[in-house]
Structure 1
Amino acid sequence: MDDNLFFAILTIVAGLIVAGIARIIVRWLEKYAETTETKWDDIIVAAIGTPVQVGIVAISVYIALKSFDIVPAQYAWLLSGKVLNSIYILIATWIASSLLHDIVRIYGHALAEKTQGDTDDRIVDLLELAVRYVVWFAGIMLIFVNLEINITPFLAGAGIAGLAFALAAQDLISNFFGGAIITVDKTFKVGDRIEVDSYYGDVTVIGTRSTRIRTIDGKIVTIPNNKITSGSVVNYSEPDPKIRYTLPITVAYGSDVVRVKKVIFDVVHDAIQNTDYFASDPAPTVFFREFGDSSLKFVIYVWAKAYNIPDEVKDAINVRIASRFAAEGIEIPFPQLEVRMKK
């Protein structure tokens, strides 16, 4: 065997041995890092461990090829300093990508867990992916510059691709930031009862693209986040689940208005005291609103303890109104049509 080839192989084997020793040291450092409270040592060891081992082997191969003259003349460019610098850039890019990815993954999710909803977690997932692509793209561009390859076409292509992606995904991006705005602005949260456009129900999911609400009749409605942030939202759960209900009451002409108001007040106070639906503060109010076409019109304003019991509130009042009006002889009018015929 040629002496140069023998020493080249010996150099590569030595590199493999050093890489193996480095692997043993890295494993020891990983176990030691697990015993410490901080996560920084875990992140650093994980980032440099494998790239350093691969770098040791790559550099030993480069040294073997360059020092012992075993490379054919047509491949002599492989031994230039630019190739060695490219190896350094590649290893550094690998380490930076792993380091930044783990920082975002560990500390980003730790912060996201302190907030409600899953929007923050989705943002962190997106950042994890973006960090890897951005760092590797920058590293590859540096390698091209080192090798004196014109990167203008690559940058122009990346710009065009980015523009095309932005145009194609503008709704997705708009909805994504809409979800972030909902989370940051705290417009509503999961479990709140809201009204958006003509939809009324409870929020079940706040996603990166859309928000889902369960309507009163059990249907799931998916609404794009950008529609929510660009429109009006009524939140019945904030700042207080208490809500005021308006109940119209009509009685026949000829009824004693003062007496009717007293009876209605008695009915409302009875409902407040003997059911669990009503709040006593603010106090209920009753108004004689107007003279209608065929009836005297009153209105009751009463506060319920929660926004999700409208039928219970109306039933508690209306049942008592019907019973008390019948006992007091107060007539509740109904539509009538009088027909007169001429002879």
Structure 2
Amino acid sequence: MEEYFKTHSSDLIYGAVIILAVAVLYLLTNLLHKWLLKRRLNKFASLNTTPINLVKRVVNTLWIVLGLIALTFIFVEEEEFAAMNEHFKLVLYLGFVAIITIVAATSSNMWFTRSIRRKTQTGDDPTNFKFLRYVSVYGIYITGALFGLLAIPSLHGVAQTILGGAGVIALIVGVSSQEALSNLVGGLFIISFKPFKVGDVIEISDTMIGTVTDITLRHTVIRNFKNRMIVIPNSIINKEKLVNYDLGEQKCCEYVEMSISYDSNVDLAKTIMQEECEKHPLIYDNRTELEKQDGIPMVKVALVQFDDSSVKLRAWAWAQTFGDSIALKRDVFESIKKRFDTKGIEIPFPYRTIVVKNKEGSK
């Protein structure tokens, strides 16, 4: 046994040093991770800790793999040293590329997040920054992957071609579906021509109306008034005819329509509708100075339709925003109904007259 230790003493010392070095690096990485995590959380309470945890796992895995490769030098023949050394360098290179990529993507994401928050607080449009955040983060990860390919001899030529620029379009077209490309191009069109932006209230159909919360490379996210998130691919939303309630002037005219019976007093009903709309706190006076001088009422009410069992009255009520117009309409429906009840104005049910004929000779 003593002879074995004397013969292999250098190898044993080398192995012990490697194991000790890996253990120390593993411990230091965990301590650094805890310190960095605590510092970041104190500075950014809402920070996503997933990238930091991922970096820790990658670094610890890198130390273990490098340690195992270093230990194999004890058992390989001298002519295999060169190949093992290349493997060691490859793992080290890939590990550091992965770490740099994750750190760069995380830093870019944090910078864009802070910029978006500042623009939101100052009332500026954050749409461009939200879209560019996805472009930047995905671009960094793709670039990191390409540099990783450079280290693999069999894929070295492919990576050089892609990085050279000539193969980028061919690669995207080859591996991407037509729908994915349509969504990407659609997102670029939305950002470039700005038919809407983050924070706008848009209406695509009767069932899809809400506030734009995000525009990504693939889709646009809308939060409807039920607090449900609607995800619409960019290729689809670019083909639809939509209404943007925040594009240009935000004031909005809402139709307040009520049907009354033919026997009811039309003039009284019109007066009640006008008064209830005008006294609502969200009503907006859209009259010009000349119209005010001429005594034109703030809310115009007119009989617009004859139905089978009723006549329809319409009030043109203006509000400063689309959201205000919805609240105004909801409130005045109730107040008008109560006023109609007290004044004896009937909101009729549909009437149906049934005629029963007796057959000849029947009793």
Identity %: 9
Matched, 1:141 2:156: no
Partner of 2:309: none
Q: Following TM superposition, by how much is the alpha carbon of 1:304 offset from its aligned partner in structure 2, in angstroms?
A: 3.7
Tell me the TM-score normalised to structure 1 length.
0.55
* Secondary structure in structure 2 of the residue aligned to 1:307: helix
Matched, 1:270 2:275: yes
* Secondary structure in structure 2 of the residue aligned to 1:284: coil
Tell me the TM-score normalised to structure 2 length.
0.52
AA aligned opposite 1:165: V
Matched, 1:189 2:199: yes
Partner of 1:112: 113
* Secondary structure in structure 1 of the residue aligned to 2:102: helix
Match of 1:164 among 174, 179, 200: 174
Matched, 1:61 2:71: yes
Matched, 1:236 2:245: yes
- Residues 149, 159 of structure 2: 8 Å contact kept: no
- Residues 23, 53 of structure 1: 8 Å contact kept: yes
Using a 3 Å threshold, how does the CA distance of structure 1 residues 101 and 172 change in structure 2: closer, same or farther?
Answer: farther
CA distance, structure 1, for counterparts of residue 214 and residue 91 of structure 2: 40
Q: Following TM superposition, by how much is the alpha carbon of 1:79 offset from its aligned partner in structure 2, in angstroms?
A: 1.5
CA distance, structure 1, for counterparts of residue 156 and residue 12 of structure 2: 36
CA distance, structure 2, for counterparts of residue 9 and residue 230 of structure 1: 71
**Structure 1 unpaired stretches of 5+:** 250-259, 289-297, 327-343
* Secondary structure in structure 1 of the residue aligned to 2:177: helix
Q: Following TM superposition, by how much is the alpha carbon of 1:101 offset from its aligned partner in structure 2, in angstroms?
A: 0.9
CA distance, structure 1, for counterparts of residue 105 and residue 277 of structure 2: 54
Q: Following TM superposition, by how much is the alpha carbon of 1:133 offset from its aligned partner in structure 2, in angstroms?
A: 5.7
* Secondary structure in structure 2 of the residue aligned to 1:227: helix
Structure 1 segment 215-230 matched on structure 2, within 5 A? 223-230=232-239
CA distance, structure 1, for counterparts of residue 301 and residue 30 of structure 2: 80
- Residues 208, 230 of structure 2: 8 Å contact kept: no
Structure 1 residues 38-83: Cα deviation after superposition (integer angstroms, max 9, x where no partner) = 89xx97x949953663476256436x44xxxx6458xx3x322x64
Kindly report the root-mean-square deviation, in angstroms, between the aligned alpha carbons of the 2 structures.
Answer: 5.8
CA distance, structure 1, for counterparts of residue 16 and residue 251 of structure 2: 77
Structure 1 segment 80-159 matched on structure 2, within 5 A? 80=82, 83-105=84-106, 108-109=109-110, 111-112=112-113, 114-115=116-117, 131-132=140-141, 134-144=143-153, 149=154, 151-152=156-157
Q: Following TM superposition, by how much is the alpha carbon of 1:225 offset from its aligned partner in structure 2, in angstroms?
A: 2.8
CA distance, structure 1, for counterparts of residue 94 and residue 250 of structure 2: 53
- Residues 47, 99 of structure 1: 8 Å contact kept: no
AA aligned opposite 2:94: T
* Secondary structure in structure 1 of the residue aligned to 2:283: coil
Partner of 2:81: 79
- Residues 220, 232 of structure 2: 8 Å contact kept: yes
Match of 1:307 among 325, 335, 359: 325
Q: Following TM superposition, by how much is the alpha carbon of 1:25 offset from its aligned partner in structure 2, in angstroms?
A: 3.7
CA distance, structure 2, for counterparts of residue 243 and residue 90 of structure 1: 63
* Secondary structure in structure 1 of the residue aligned to 2:199: coil
- Residues 188, 235 of structure 1: 8 Å contact kept: no
Q: Following TM superposition, by how much is the alpha carbon of 1:124 offset from its aligned partner in structure 2, in angstroms?
A: 6.1
Q: Following TM superposition, by how much is the alpha carbon of 1:26 offset from its aligned partner in structure 2, in angstroms?
A: 3.6
Q: Following TM superposition, by how much is the alpha carbon of 1:12 offset from its aligned partner in structure 2, in angstroms?
A: 2.2
CA distance, structure 2, for counterparts of residue 94 and residue 269 of structure 1: 73
AA aligned opposite 1:196: I
Question: Highest CA radius of gyration, 1 or 2?
Answer: 1
* Secondary structure in structure 2 of the residue aligned to 1:61: helix
Using a 3 Å threshold, how does the CA distance of structure 1 residues 13 and 232 change in structure 2: closer, same or farther?
Answer: same
Partner of 1:252: none
Using a 3 Å threshold, how does the CA distance of structure 1 residues 265 and 35 change in structure 2: closer, same or farther?
Answer: closer
CA distance, structure 1, for counterparts of residue 189 and residue 221 of structure 2: 8
